[in-house]
Amino acid sequence: MSAARSGAAVGPSAAGGQGAAGGSGAAVGPSAAGGQGRSAGVQLHVTSLPGGRLGAEAHRFVEWLAAAGQSWWQVLPLHPPDRHRSPYRPSSAFAAWRGLLEGPRAPVTASEIASFRERQRFWIDDWERFAGRGAVADQVRFEREWQRLREHAAACGVRILGDVAIYVARGSCDHVAHPELFRSGAVAGAPPDAYSSTGQRWGNPLYDWPALRRTGYRWWVERMRRTLELFDLARLDHFRGFVAYWAVPERARTAVSGSWRRGPGIALFRALERGLADRAATGGGAPPAAAMGGGAPPAAATLLPLIAEDLGVITPAVERLRDELGLPGMVVLQFGFDPGDPASPHRPANHLPNRVVYTGTHDQDTVRAWLGSLDVPSRALLDSELAARGLVDRRLPWWSVIRLALSSPATIAIVQAQDLLGLGSGARMNVPGRTGTAWRWQLAPGALTPALARRLREATEEAGRLAGAGSRGARDAGR
């Protein structure tokens, strides 16, 4: 979900007591993420590759990332999207989308299907009943193609950063197969805020958290198990919804009449840890800071390699839950230059090591378009920041912002592929609340050139984000 969709403050009655029970509230600073292991990556959904599928283009992109000195490829959710192609309203929280396959008709053996059924027995029968004949074979094909990609990426020194959409779609496989785990009478949304006077009515079914608790959060445990099979690290969408979420009456046309409801808080994450203890015991678990390449986490930190999407106006309860779990949060440069908000966590001077910094997200305009939209005071603030850091590039001003992200003390820096190319609004991935052109942008074949890789590698090295990079970037980070 976008920052716009998670951006309203919780009132006093909702903010209190909903975070980690007994949480320390301690900020996660250098001891959590350290100045070591700084890295960088590029966000590009699989559908935005030339051709929009796995296979040769995906392997070429991994090779380009390696040449450019990048450690991460961030993708959006891989599950079947809705009719508008949004991966944030998936028809399954477990199945991968057939539309991503390079070889949708590749042969599949009976033994492969039997093996997959055994390993994915929690959800695959439900998916087969929902999706029909051939559904299991498609998942086997995806597993083969994805595994080949993961192995190639690992050989190139590139890790995959995934995305977990908090909600599923109404009428999705999970909603149909497990109706007892969802509430009736209300749907997901966001309250009125600066982005919308009527709020946002997303329409996703809401979880019945007490019902999930009575099962030991089994559905979420299995969902996270599947997620961590696919990715090295995953962004947890709409993290604030685990503390408190906006429930909109089902028959309401807008979100104005919604209200805050308490989420599961830390209980869910402790259940995930218990349910996935076998993963940690076999060496598959590492604290988020360690998975990112940082230092020692807080004593109570989770072993789950997750990033908290904590965008918008975040309450102390949300911060307590994030920090007690030791989860890295997100900062986005496009949110950092409001002259009236000097304390914004997105302001470069306020960045912390245990964060992931972005030039922008899939729900925002490209950096080039954003630069053209800034009002005079905001642009003056940005220009002053760039000048103070010696990052002004008048010929390619979007590269100034890219280098600003790379210079952040945040342990990971992620740049959108569109921003590397200096593209305008036509390359925007999504505009929240609009349909028709969203989720359709694709790279032109050959757009990511060797020269562009060299330029990104040089900027990454200057910021101390290459593997084994010298101390210059580490010293200069956060200047």
Could you read off the pLDDT of 67-120 as tens digits, one per residue? Answer: 999 999 999 999 999 888 889 889 999 999 999 999 999 999 999 999 999 999
**Residue 114 forms part of a structural domain:** no
Catalytic residue among 57, 222, 237, 419: 237
Q: How far is CA 168 from CA 79, 85, 209, 274, 336, in A?
A: 10, 14, 15, 24, 31
Q: Check if 309 is active-site.
A: yes
Question: Whole-angstrom Cα distance, residue 69 to residue 458?
Answer: 8
> CA angle 36-40-45, nearest 5°?
145
- Count how many domains the chain has: 1
417 within some domain? yes
Which structural domain, as residue segments, surrounds residue 333? 4-96+147-476
pLDDT, one tens digit for every residue, the chain (479 residues): 544 433 333 332 332 333 333 333 223 232 333 334 899 999 999 999 999 999 999 999 999 999 999 999 999 999 999 888 889 889 999 999 999 999 999 999 999 999 999 999 999 999 999 999 999 999 999 999 999 999 999 999 999 999 999 999 999 999 999 999 999 999 999 898 766 788 889 999 999 999 999 999 999 999 999 999 999 999 999 999 999 999 999 999 999 999 999 999 999 999 999 999 876 555 555 555 555 655 555 555 667 899 999 987 689 999 999 999 999 999 999 999 999 999 999 999 999 999 999 999 998 889 999 999 999 999 999 999 999 999 999 999 999 999 999 999 999 999 999 999 999 988 898 877 676 778 889 999 999 999 999 999 999 999 999 964 433 333 343 34
Closest CA to 409 of 34, 11, 74, 124: 34
DSSP 8-state symbol, 337 = -
CATH number at residue 421: 3.20.20.80
> Is 139 inside any structural domain?
no
- Cα 381 to chain center, whole Å? 28
- In the chain the first and final C-alpha atoms are separated, in Å, by 31
What is the side-by-side strand order in the sheet with 412-416?
306-308, 233-236, 159-164, 72-74, 39-43, 412-416, 355-358, 329-332
Residue 209 inside a domain? The answer is: yes
Is position 117 within any domain?
Answer: no
Instruction: Please tell me the predicted confidence (pLDDT) of residue 479.
Output: 40
Q: Is 365 a catalytic residue?
A: no
**C-alpha angle 84-99-162 in degrees, rounded to nearest 5:** 80
Name 230's Cβ contacts closer than 8 Å, sequence gap at least 6. Answer: 78, 146, 160, 162
In a domain, 35, yes or no: yes
Q: For this structure, is 237 an active site residue?
A: yes
The answer to whether residues 295 and 34 touch, using CB atoms and an 8 Å cutoff, is yes
From 143, 363, 365, 419, the catalytic residue: 363
User: Tens of pLDDT along 148-175?
Assistant: 999 999 999 999 999 999 999 999 999 9
Catalytic residue among 145, 309, 310, 419: 309
Q: What is the pTM of this model?
A: 0.86
C-alpha distances out from residue 396 to 374, 400, 457, Å = 16, 7, 17
The confidence score (pLDDT) of residue 83 equals 87
Is 133 part of any domain?
A: no
pLDDT of res. 343: 92
Say what the pLDDT of residue 290 is. Answer: 55
Number of H helices, E strands in the chain: 19, 12
The predicted structure's pLDDT at residue 429: 82
Give pLDDT, residue 284: 55
* Residue 104 belongs to some domain of the structure: no
CA 461, CA 373: separation in Å to the nearest integer? Answer: 30
Structure tokens at 89: 């309203």
